[in-house]
Amino acid sequence: MSQTYGKTRWKRFALVMVPSLAATAAIGVSMANSVLAASFSISGQQFKVTVDDLRGDRFSQFGAVDAESNGTKHPVAISAFDTAHLKGLCQSVVTDLGPVLGKWTLVLKAGDSTEEAKQVYAENLLIDLNQLDADAEFTNINIGQDANTLTGSALDDLRNSKPGLPSGAYGFSQTAETAHLSKVQQTAWATSAGTFKLPGLHLSLNHQENGKTYECY
């Protein structure tokens, strides 16, 4: 880690800004003390996302738990951005349609442009993820902040829809004024946004065969 002029850089990190052992411990303590509320009702199916370049403002991250309708719970790290521009977005999810039809991959791509106006744009973006690799740079970071003190429009939306989030005496979190991530690869359980603009949207449904999955990575 190097720190210069208020900026901090990490290379190839898993779960933004938090050393993996510290993040696991913080979430584990929170779950043991029943202080993490479920954030979203999810399908129980993960999806993959890649982004060539992401620039976001008012970034924050904290631990939570997503829950399926059958009661199965999944610890997640919620990443929140008040606004974000994404270049080269790819999202894929695999569905098994049984022995006759086999596995199919739904792929969504958008925003593959160097012009910011033609990139994917999101407001109040929330991503519930359990794995992330990227090159990253943050400005004016604060690691270890109480999650109850986090501010920003994305967090306001989350609190309004799910009162009590983020919550708990063990609400370990981190926040930064800006975040710049490149070569992003992540798996997630859920994504939501108040506004989500997708210039150049392309959606395809692909049958997996001959070892080709068509997933984003």
In a domain, 217, yes or no: no
In a domain, 138, yes or no: yes
Identity of the residue numbered 70: N
In a domain, 212, yes or no: no
In a domain, 213, yes or no: no
Q: Is the pLDDT of residue 5 over 80?
A: no
In a domain, 214, yes or no: no
Structure tokens at 181: 């991530």
**Per-residue pLDDT tens over the stretch 146-204:** 888 889 999 888 877 766 555 544 478 899 999 999 999 999 999 999 999 999 999 99
Q: Is the pLDDT of residue 122 over 80?
A: yes
Cβ–Cβ under 8 Å, residues 188 and 129 = yes
**Per-residue pLDDT tens over the stretch 9-27:** 554 444 444 433 344 444 4
Can you name the residues that pair with 63 across neighbouring β-strands?
77
Q: What is the pLDDT of residue 43?
A: 86
Q: What is the mean pLDDT of residues 30-45?
A: 57
Q: Which positions ≥6 away from 46 have C-beta within 8 Å?
A: 93, 130, 187, 188, 189
Which residue range(s) make up the domain with 73?
2-207
Q: How many domains does the chain have?
A: 1
In a domain, 216, yes or no: no
Query: pLDDT band at residue 6, thresholds of 50, 70 and 90?
Result: very low
Among residues of the chain, what percentage have pLDDT more than 70?
Answer: 77
- Short-list 16, 204, 199, 212, CA closest to 120: 199
| H-helix segments, 136-204 | 153-161
